[in-house]
């Protein structure tokens, strides 16, 4: 599966645009959450360039999410998983209870796990809480 246009639009909205690279944990991000070895302090990007990078980044995440999910999911459920994985990292999704529930066919339990991913260093963050609520609602539309 590939992320839908609605998925791309949602991630753009929740990530927000940053024209200048900024520290984001152990690395720097730019645009709509893009990071990589080419992103350096002081780097700049246009919204058009950032939008193109986001599509490429989401396709990469989607490919890996497709390999992790072993059950049938709807487009909405897939889009919610791609948005989550783009934000928390594929390694975190791979180890998550959410994925374990999903692959066991327990979609409702999996949906309830989105809200657990709203913390940074153990502290709830309102922006992540709002994002997870959007992702969970999108995931539940696919049930």
Catalytic positions, written as ranges: 15
**Per-residue pLDDT tens for 90-132?**
999 999 999 999 999 999 999 999 999 999 989 999 999 999 9
Longest CA pairwise span in the chain (Å): 46
pLDDT at site 3: 98
Contact yes or no for 93/67 (Cβ under 8 A): no
Tens digit of pLDDT for each residue in 62-100? 999 999 999 999 999 999 999 999 999 999 999 999 999
The model carries a pTM of 0.95
Residues 44, 104: Cα–Cα separation, whole Å: 43
Those residues whose C-beta lies under 8 Å from the C-beta of residue 141, and which sit 6 or more positions away, are 74, 76
């Amino acid at each position: 599966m590939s992320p839908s246009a609605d998925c791309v639009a949602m991630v753009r909205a929740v990530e927000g645009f940053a024209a200048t690279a900024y520290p984001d944990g152990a690395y720097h991000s730019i645009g709509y959450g893009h990071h990589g070895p080419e992103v350096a302090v002081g780097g700049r990007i246009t919204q058009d360039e950032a939008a193109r990078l986001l599509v490429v980044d989401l396709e990469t995440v989607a490919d890996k999410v497709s390999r992790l999910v072993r059950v049938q999911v709807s487009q909405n459920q897939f889009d919610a998983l791609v948005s989550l994985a783009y934000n928390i990292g594929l390694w975190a999704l791979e180890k998550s209870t959410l994925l374990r529930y999903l692959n066991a066919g327990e979609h409702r339990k999996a949906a309830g796990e989105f809200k657990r991913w709203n913390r940074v260093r153990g502290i709830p963050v309102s922006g992540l809480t709002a994002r997870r609520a959007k992702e969970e609602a999108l995931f539940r539309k696919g049930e």
